[in-house]
Chain A
Amino acid sequence: MFGNLIGGIRALFHRNRRNAEINDELESFIEASIDAKMGSGMTREQAVRAARVEAGSAETVRHKVWSAGWESTADSLLQDLRFAIRQLRKNPGFATTAILILTLGIAASVAIFSFVDAALIQPLPYQNPSRLLILFESNSLGPRFHLSYKDYIDWKNQNTVFSSLDTYAPDGFMLQTPTGTQKADGVRVSAGFFRTLGVAPALGRDFRPNEDQPGQPRPTILSYSAWQRRFGGRADVIGQTVVLDGQPNTIIGVLPRDFHFVPAEPADFFTTERADGDCAKIRGCHNSFGVARLKPGVSISAAFADMRTVVAQLERQYPDSNRGRGVFMMPAIDLIVGDVRPILLVLLAGAALLLLIATVNVASLLLVRSESRRREFAVRGAVGASRARLTLLFIAEGVVLASSAGILGTALAFLAMRYATGFIPKDQLATMPYLAELGLNFRVVLFAIIVSVASAALFSIMPALRVSLADLHTDLSSGGRGFAGTVWRRFGSNLVVVELTMAVVLLVSAGLLGKSFYRLLHTDTGLIPDHLATLQVAAESPAYAKDPALIALERQIDARLATLPGVRSVAFTSDLPLGDGDGTKVLSVVGQPHHDGLREGVFRDVSASYFSTLQAQLIRGRLFTEDDDATKARIGVINRQFAKQFFPDQDPIGQQVSSDGDSKERIRIVGIVNDIQEGQLDAAPRSALYVPFTQTPPNDFAVILRTAQDEESLLPIVATAIHGIDPGLATYQPSTMSRRLHDSPSAWLHRSSAWIVGGFAALALLLSVVGLYGVIAYSVSRRTREIGVRMALGAQRSTVYRLILREAGWLTAMGIGAGLLCSLAATTLLRSLLFRVQTWDLSTLAGVALTLAAAALLASFLPARRAASVNPTEALHAE
């Protein structure tokens, strides 16, 4: 076997030597034969003649010996390939178009597959991840809320279905560094967290089971990236001390490089949840989530049932804190990739469909070409080329096209992958750590190969079928129009209509998403976002434990920042606008009966300058002044939505509200402002209550500066200025309001979906145009004779143009019409993504229809011109 292979390859590469060998052998055979014949009495001349006759033609012998090995088949295949490449190079227009659309099709599916691979195929970095559940406490607002530490302990002790149950809670820590205090991302976990996941540190050790108990020294485990980034990857970090939130923590371990835990990403430091923590002592204080491993053989539904009885028991036992509190659980995999799974699968299916259509389109272009090469094939057939051999010519062409497109497509996909991850905002990327594995691994390459081979197979089969269906002899004699051609024309036309329909749907969707994205970015947020710099400040040191100290600090920062060049005004708030919508409290109006359900509203401590800095509008009443401090009665400003919700037919000014059911602290309303979007861009307006910063100063707050110059360049100066006041102050998340606007999750969602659908739409548009061209060109090539007759009988060129363009126009009109109808249905699926854009947005629909019509006209114009330039004499003669 092996010798056979080697011999064949040697013969292929040293073809001349092999031929000489065969000649030598044949010569020696003949000479031996001559010798023998002379030995039996013939003269030399007679012997030579007889021997030559017996041996037959030397060329035939050589050919037979040569064909005995497999290399002759390989050689003819190579010849076919070389011929195919020559043919394609002679038709650069065709080759470029075919390779381009195949490349795009393959690149799209390979790139999307690589995301599918990274997110869904590569296993999560835990032991037996399918047995892991995430647990939440549910309440009247919804199923996925924090659970309290005391409930957790009871769940852990009373359940019978989990082999272990632990908690995690994403947290931010104030980390002391030589250059000042920094904010670091971290997670508080119960001591068994990593054992439940089945993960062991790559360096050092795991938490010991009792290390979350009071009185124990505080240990911390680093994530791999934190170890690299903050500690230079040095092995001697184990045993070092880091100060987190003012408490010394000993580094005991470093997690493996591939570890990630999406529900708590990004995380640098893992510390233990302390049973003696402020929140842990109160059953009503909810601050963490559960993660559990199912016992072997226990199903999720059985676990759910068991946990429900545990929770019901707790509800009876602690009615004050646990009334209405239930349990919710979901597989960890669903929480981690559940959001992206359907999106990715839909994208992959879409890409596969586009690739299929791209392939059929290339096949249709190949058919157009095969039509013009029918005579060539007929001649080849007539001089003895077998059907198989002719089919091979098509396959060779298919293989050349598919393999070049496969290589180019994979390279393009690789670029797209690298570009795509750069495109995702950093915050968003941190919640998708599995994308770190994105790349050309063997599965992705295998996928690319399978896709290329499949498309090569598909479009080499179709023209080959055409050759075997049509009668070669008829082709040779008359250029007959076979049954197969008609079938193809009908199929091709239907396909073009489908392509156009799809292109319309995708273009409409992309148009709507793009418009919606534009509207989102230009929505009225109640503030003017340009020239606003923002910076988070945390004053966690004991020096700021008392309100007066914090107020003094705020005044100091205000005074310092106001002197910076280009700063127009400085404001403070407990939470920045355009955020995640957190920072809410239950608000109630004094004197109004308690309502069913909760009335959560946005609650903000803001400085007197907050509204003027954001340029928000006061509707009625007054804003805060610097004098509204803790010595005065508490006052507040509400927004328009608050007034609408709580005081539909009353004057809110002078009314009193309380927050979180604390009826002693009454807040008197002094003013109403226009709604400021405190939550996400596309969120509905929510009631908001603003109270003076100087009455209840928070120690973690944000500074907002309205600047006269580029706000971005001011950010480092602001941080330095604040550290100049007290190096112990932590500053973090320097940003600008426009960045918050553009990088907000809803903007990101809109932008990415607009881009993805837009990409697909562009591909679909290209495909439908090429498809239309292919079908019309094929039709023209089939009708050359008819056109020749028409022109010979006096048809004008314009008539021919009309003839061809009518055919194309009919297909285009059907496609666009069907597409508009379908997009009305399809875009209702998009409704939840659309922001202040109707699904039947007329300008988008009209724009798409016009774009497609123009593109279709262009695509059919080329073959129409060819048809019109048919020379009647030649057309009739040639056929």
Chain B
Amino acid sequence: MTNKSADLVSGTLEMLVLKTLAPEPMHGYGIALRIEQISHGVFRVNPGSLLPALSRMERAGRIKADWRATENNRRARYYQLTELGRRALKDERQQWGRQIAAINRILEA
């Protein structure tokens, strides 16, 4: 609560979600938690932005979802990358890399 979370650079949320899902299927809260932990609390994703993003990506066929039991014996929707999603992740990472490099060159020029 007290940590100030930065706004996500626009358009990157989907890429982060794809990356988070790359190793294994996860439910919504798990994704949010993982992003928060790995970014050391810099990025906090609330359901108001995560769930629409998941819905969009599912519609676009980048991820697929099914209801499963969680480790706490609750039911949750687990998301999993599709082949399309893997390719999208690769593309977006490359593009992101190019953009970051370009921005750095501008900033350091």
Contacts and interface: CB of A to CB of B under 8 A. Distances in A.
Are A and B genuine complex partners?
A: yes
A3 interface: yes
Nearest to B51: A65
Given A4-B59, A54-B46, A26 B51 contact: yes
Interface in A33-57: 33, 35-36, 50, 54-56
A141 interface: no
A26 B59 CA distance: 18
A61 B48 contact: yes
A33 B53 CA distance: 19
Contacts of B27: 28-29, 32
For the complex of A and B, list the 4 residue pairs with the smallest distance between their C-beta atoms, beginning with the closest.
A32-B29, A68-B52, A28-B76, A64-B52
A134 to B, nearest CB: 63
B1 interface: yes
A7 to B, nearest CB: 5
A48 to B, nearest CB: 14
Nearest to B27: A32
B49 A3 contact: no
A31 interface: yes
A35 B55 contact: no
Interface in B1-40: 1, 27-30, 32-33
Interface string B69-82: 01010111100000
Residue among A28, A55, A69 facing the most chain B CB atoms (10 A cut-off): A28
A67 interface: yes
Interface string A850-867: 000000000000000000
Nearest to B72: A35
A35 B29 CA distance: 10
A334 interface: no
Contacts of A55: 46-48
Contact of A3 (B28, B56, B61, B75): B61
Contacts of A64: 48-49, 51-52
A792 to B, nearest CB: 56
Looking at B32, B33, B55, which has the most chain A CB atoms within 10 Å of its CB?
A: B55
A25 interface: yes
Contact of B33 (A25, A36, A61): A36
A216 interface: no
A60 interface: yes
Contacts of A56: 46-48
A7 B46 contact: no
B100 interface: no
B102 interface: no
Contacts of A25: 28, 51, 77
6 contacts: A4-B59, A26-B47, A29-B27, A55-B46, A64-B51, A67-B52
| Interface size grouping (class) on chain B | 20 to 34
A646 B49 CA distance: 104
Interface in B50-66: 50-53, 55-56, 58-61
A28 B47 contact: no
A65 B50 CA distance: 9
A833 interface: no
Q: Is the interface of A mostly helix, strand, loop or mixed?
A: helix
B51 to A, nearest CB: 5
A215 B49 CA distance: 96
B7 to A, nearest CB: 15
A28 B28 contact: yes
B74 A69 contact: no
A65 B74 contact: no
B29 A33 contact: yes
B77 A28 contact: yes
Given A25-B28, A55-B48, 14 more contacts: A26-B51, A28-B28, A28-B75, A29-B28, A29-B32, A29-B50, A29-B51, A29-B76, A32-B29, A55-B47, A61-B51, A64-B48, A64-B52, A67-B52
A236 to B, nearest CB: 63
B52 to A, nearest CB: 4
Nearest to B1: A50
B58 to A, nearest CB: 8
Given A50-B1, A68-B55, A32 B77 contact: no
A95 interface: no
Contacts of A50: 1
Centre residue among A25, A33, A36 by max chain B CB count within 10 A: A25
B30 to A, nearest CB: 7
A22 interface: yes
A3 B51 CA distance: 18
Interface in A214-240: none
Contact of A7 (B32, B51, B59): B59
Given A26-B47, A64-B51, A3 B59 contact: yes
Nearest to B65: A25
Interface string A50-90: 10001110001100110111000000000000000000000
Interface in A237-279: none
A31 B56 CA distance: 23
A29 B29 contact: yes
Contacts of A68: 52-53, 55-56, 59
B16 to A, nearest CB: 17
A60 B52 CA distance: 11
B47 A61 contact: yes
Contacts of B29: 28-29, 32-33, 36
A55 B70 CA distance: 20
Nearest to B76: A28
A774 B61 CA distance: 53
Nearest to A51: B29
B52 A65 contact: yes
Contacts of B72: 32, 35
Contacts of B61: 3-4
Contacts of B30: 32
A351 to B, nearest CB: 46
A69 B56 contact: yes
A25 B76 CA distance: 7
A50 B46 CA distance: 12
A49 to B, nearest CB: 11
Given A68-B55, A69-B55, A69-B56, A31 B48 contact: no
A69 to B, nearest CB: 6
A56 to B, nearest CB: 5
Interface in A1-43: 3-4, 7-8, 22, 24-26, 28-33, 35-36
A3 B57 CA distance: 11
A4 B53 CA distance: 14
A555 B61 CA distance: 96
A6 to B, nearest CB: 9
A28 to B, nearest CB: 4
A30 B32 CA distance: 11
Nearest to A69: B59
A61 B48 CA distance: 5
